[in-house]
Structure 1
Amino acid sequence: MQRDAPATVGDLATGHGISLGEATKTFARIACLSFGGPAGQIAVMHRILVEEKRWIGEDRFLHALNFCMLLPGPEAQQLATYCGWLLHRTLGGLVAGLLFVLPGFLAIMGLSIVYAAYGEMAIVSSLFLGLKAAVLAIVVQAVLRIGGRALKNGWMIAIAAAAFVAIFLFAVPFPAIVAAAGLLGFAGGRAGHPAFAAAGKGDVAVTDGDHAVGTHSGTVRSSARSAFLTAAVCLAVWLLPVAALLFAFGPDNVYSQIAVFFSKMAVVTFGGAYAVLAYVAQEAVGTYGWMQPGEMLDGLGLAETTPGPLIMVTQFVGFLAAFREPGSLNPYLAGALGACLTTWVTFAPCFLWIFAGAPFIERLRSNRALSAALSTITAAVVGVILNLAVWFALHVLFARVEEVERYGLSLDVPVLSSLDLLALALVLTAVVAIFVLRLGMLPTLGLCAAGSLGAFLLG
């Protein structure tokens, strides 16, 4: 074990001994294992890039995570893009970010076609039940891992607990929680409070072997001109197709509506897929009439049980929207085009945020007050992710969950009589597989899916 020598991003791009081909294989592996929502996906990246490969230092990884948590859009995909950018600049970021989306895109495309052709099938539902049970255990494991690293003292634990209570009991919006945590951390770091100073101070990572890792000692050289040019190119890639559709077909065409609506959504999706689910459902069902109310949950089920960001549920919405308004096209071809367009305008902005902002964020790693703010935000996000895990558990284990509002509190309460005993057995199986037998994600997913399908076949 040895400490890293100081490095610049230029050194990281050329002198660390990690070829683009090797990085591509690794990010493809991460993409195929990216089940379980953002918590599980971030845990997978940390395990492979920080612990196994030792390509990126602990401090730099958490710094990147803190930045991505502040951005609209899927934080896990943006974190993958950021890590790829650290290793091989823009090309590396493009490869990592696109690969992270590709497996889920292909899976949801195929499942959307099946859904449109056959609707809900019992055998498919049983398969999803097994996968959801495994995903729940994976998310719990991810919360424990991330919490163990981010909650470094009693103050950070208290902030995570407060964030959980705020969102779970009072339905406080995610952006408000992030803003409050950031201000508290910044003030604490600026004042030199020991708890926040410790939270904002990262250790220099170590390496194994010959690879130089992107660590706290690395610096980034950037200029306003290069950032402006990068932002301009990314904006053009994102918005020119939208403008072309509006010019060619007008604002009432289904493809124009998809492009405009999901472009707007990409700017306001703070807090991940769950936070924006109600907004998308309201617009897709009530305003545009693209789908029925229950179909949004079906789409979320597809996204939860396939690799990739949960925000990929928007691809399912875009597919159904175009499938049901195909015009002169074959409905399945129209649906596929709608899904591709939705994915494009959902994820193109993610590259804009990273490529334009990451160089400046890297330069701010030495600013104690800002580092403390970002670390405090990470602590709050642990509480938010715990809330998502609880929400997910309620909807996996119980067929009926009722919203109770009393004394200013808003709480999801399960109907105990609706407990799904098969789901409970599958969740316990997944917990044993992960925490006792130490099985990986894919064996656990396969085990639970096989158990659920076996139960279905046995009646």
Structure 2
Amino acid sequence: MDSRPVQGDVIPLREATRAWFSISLQTFGGPAGQIAVMQHKLVDEKRWIGQQRFLHALNYCMLLPGPEAQQLAIYTGWLLNGTRGGLIAGSLFVLPGVLALLALSAIYVRYGETGLVSALFAGIAPAVIAIVVQAVQRVGKRALNHPALVAIAVAAFLALTLFGVPFPAVVLAAGVLGWLLGRRIPGLGGGGHGAAEDDGPAPLISDEALHHALPTKRRSLGVLALGLFLWFTPVAAFAVLVDSTPVFTDQGLFFSGAAVVTFGGAYAVLAYVAQQAVSVYGWLAPGEMVRGLALAETTPGPLIMVVQFVAFVGAYRQPGAFDPWVAAVLASLLVTWVTFVPCFLWVLLGAPYVERLRSNRALSTALTGITAAVVGVIANLAVFFALHNLFDEQREIGAGPLALDLPVLSEWDPTAFAITAVALVGMFRFKWSPLRTIGVCALLGLLVYGVRAVT
């Protein structure tokens, strides 16, 4: 068989597919770890793409809503093998995580109320609190390099925590503030990820040989029309064909909207998702979002995969005329579809314009404002998780524009506080990975809560 690349392929598609499948099995540890895996495989080992070209693609993906690591996979797949390369790379990137979390969600629904599993999750929840606190520290260290950006982060936190301002409104306001500040403060939108200290190993393939496409209006309209059709057709089908439960349409539309505002990674949007899933739609109980996040932390792929857990549990409990298990699987697949199809659309539509976008200062400063707000958003998520997992009861205070949940201090859980302390010390003092932290805290939960349940 002729193994030479077909026209448009920089390397043979079969070889690229094997590489992407290998990468997909190693995508643990959040976006930083996932990007590092691609860096090692594509830049250092295979030498298919140069260091600067890789960073060029990463900077573009950081401008987009959604998981930047998966979008980077789509973009580099497109560079190497055109559209089909991008589709293969992006699909393989999330497939192992989709299958793993589907199985874990089913196990949770079936066995989550048993004493053993309850003890396991009671230990895991404090670990997730520590992981989110670490995310606040890491994102803040990178993003808050000016007092004005610190002010935006604090304002975002207060708007969400004290006044219940909707998450999309916070993102929009932060973007506008970033743009306005960028006009007054030189260099506010600069930096991005920056360049590497060196150019890395010389690539085997020149930049000129990488795939490219002319940014024509005809191509853009075609990609946009096809992308929107694929994105919303399943949601429309459920809306027309299913009338026994609104859960499919509600989830399809809600998570389609969430996919558009997921700037700054999964943590930034999870507080919004948790609030809507618990308080508005009733898909989850207050403490369950942290359990889904813990499950997503243990699987490969983007952390935003946690929305699949939300969909599975919500549809299982609101199945309408469907068998609950069938409804759960259908909903989880639908939500996965509407969450990740936009990633392909953003990259395949925008890649030909990447140079123009990267030189657009207004867009860069708007993104800087949004990134600053993300620090406050993630801090709000940490407060939400702590409130619902360290205290057994909460009370709501509402006076004028104030909308605040406070813990009932007499209902604090000393064991949960102790395990949270272990997780925080492990992550910040001993540099434990999220996976190791979850494992240690799960064992502590089994020991403490399991023994308590037996006795």
**Unaligned residue ranges in structure 1 (runs of 5+):** 1-9, 34-40, 69-74, 286-290
1:175-197 residue CA offsets vs partner (Å, 9 max, x unmatched):
22222222222233345x22xx2
The yes-or-no answer on 1:402 pairing with 2:399 is no
Equivalent residue letter for 2:447: G
Choose from 271, 274, 278 the match for 2:271: 274
> Residue 141 of structure 1 aligns with which residue?
134
Q: 2:270, 2:381 within 8 Å by CA — same for their partners in 1? A: no
Choose from 208, 222, 246 the match for 2:200: 208
Choose from 51, 54, 73 the match for 1:84: 73
Task: Compute the TM-score of the two structures, normalised by the length of structure 2.
Answer: 0.77
Partner secondary structure for residue 404 of structure 1: strand
Query: Structure 1 residues 301, 436: CA separation in 2 closer, same or farther (over 3 Å shift)?
Result: closer
- CA positional deviation for 1:14: 6.1
Query: Structure 1 residues 182, 297: CA separation in 2 closer, same or farther (over 3 Å shift)?
Result: same
Choose from 216, 238, 252 the match for 2:243: 252
1:70-103 residue CA offsets vs partner (Å, 9 max, x unmatched):
xxxxx33xx2332112311144544554455445
Between the aligned partners of 1:335 and 1:390, the Cα distance in structure 2 is: 29
Query: Structure 1 residues 238, 121: CA separation in 2 closer, same or farther (over 3 Å shift)?
Result: same
Equivalent residue letter for 2:137: L
Query: Structure 1 residues 172, 11: CA separation in 2 closer, same or farther (over 3 Å shift)?
Result: farther
Between the aligned partners of 2:418 and 2:329, the Cα distance in structure 1 is: 37
Between the aligned partners of 1:397 and 1:380, the Cα distance in structure 2 is: 26
Equivalent residue letter for 1:305: A
The yes-or-no answer on 1:265 pairing with 2:254 is yes
Between the aligned partners of 1:356 and 1:415, the Cα distance in structure 2 is: 50
Choose from 420, 443, 450 the match for 1:450: 443
After alignment, is 128-137 or 225-234 more displaced?
225-234
Between the aligned partners of 1:404 and 1:51, the Cα distance in structure 2 is: 50
Partner secondary structure for residue 411 of structure 1: strand
Query: Structure 1 residues 144, 342: CA separation in 2 closer, same or farther (over 3 Å shift)?
Result: closer
> Residue 189 of structure 2 aligns with which residue?
199
> Residue 64 of structure 2 aligns with which residue?
67
> Residue 312 of structure 2 aligns with which residue?
315
The count of residues paired between Structure 1 and Structure 2 equals 411
1:148-173 residue CA offsets vs partner (Å, 9 max, x unmatched):
11112222222212222222222222
Equivalent residue letter for 1:85: I
- CA positional deviation for 1:388: 1.1
> Residue 409 of structure 2 aligns with which residue?
416
- CA positional deviation for 1:442: 1.8
Between the aligned partners of 2:392 and 2:205, the Cα distance in structure 1 is: 47
Query: Structure 1 residues 179, 456: CA separation in 2 closer, same or farther (over 3 Å shift)?
Result: closer
**Unaligned residue ranges in structure 2 (runs of 5+):** 1-6, 45-50, 263-268, 297-302
1:22-66 residue CA offsets vs partner (Å, 9 max, x unmatched):
444334322x43xxxxxxx34444565579978676676455334
After alignment, is 149-158 or 106-115 more displaced?
106-115
Q: How does 1:12-411 map to 2 (within 5 A)?
A: 19=16, 21-30=18-27, 32-33=28-29, 41-45=30-34, 61=58, 63-68=60-65, 75-76=66-67, 79-89=68-78, 90-91=83-84, 93-95=86-88, 97-99=90-92, 101-118=94-111, 120-191=113-184, 193-194=185-186, 197-202=187-192, 203-205=194-196, 206-210=198-202, 222-244=215-237, 250-254=241-245, 257-269=246-258, 270=261, 272-281=269-278, 284-285=281-282, 295-297=284-286, 299-307=288-296, 308-309=303-304, 310-312=306-308, 313-322=310-319, 325-326=321-322, 332-333=325-326, 335-360=328-353, 363-406=356-399, 408-411=401-404
Between the aligned partners of 2:204 and 2:153, the Cα distance in structure 1 is: 33
The yes-or-no answer on 1:430 pairing with 2:390 is no
Query: Structure 1 residues 117, 51: CA separation in 2 closer, same or farther (over 3 Å shift)?
Result: closer
Q: 2:255, 2:338 within 8 Å by CA — same for their partners in 1? A: yes
- CA positional deviation for 1:341: 3.5
Q: 2:157, 2:380 within 8 Å by CA — same for their partners in 1? A: yes
Equivalent residue letter for 2:121: F
- CA positional deviation for 1:137: 1.5
- CA positional deviation for 1:114: 3.9
- CA positional deviation for 1:201: 4.3
Query: Structure 1 residues 201, 266: CA separation in 2 closer, same or farther (over 3 Å shift)?
Result: same
Between the aligned partners of 2:206 and 2:441, the Cα distance in structure 1 is: 37
1:217-258 residue CA offsets vs partner (Å, 9 max, x unmatched):
x998533322222223323333444455566xx34155xx45
> Residue 36 of structure 1 aligns with which residue?
none
Percent identical among aligned pairs is 36
> Residue 48 of structure 2 aligns with which residue?
none
Task: Compute the TM-score of the two structures, normalised by the length of structure 1.
Answer: 0.76
- CA positional deviation for 1:211: 5.3
Q: 2:163, 2:402 within 8 Å by CA — same for their partners in 1? A: yes
- CA positional deviation for 1:366: 0.8
- CA positional deviation for 1:302: 3.9
- CA positional deviation for 1:261: 2.7
Q: 2:111, 2:117 within 8 Å by CA — same for their partners in 1? A: no
Between the aligned partners of 1:95 and 1:378, the Cα distance in structure 2 is: 29
> Residue 3 of structure 2 aligns with which residue?
none
Query: Structure 1 residues 375, 24: CA separation in 2 closer, same or farther (over 3 Å shift)?
Result: farther
After alignment, is 333-342 or 420-429 more displaced?
333-342
Between the aligned partners of 2:85 and 2:413, the Cα distance in structure 1 is: 44
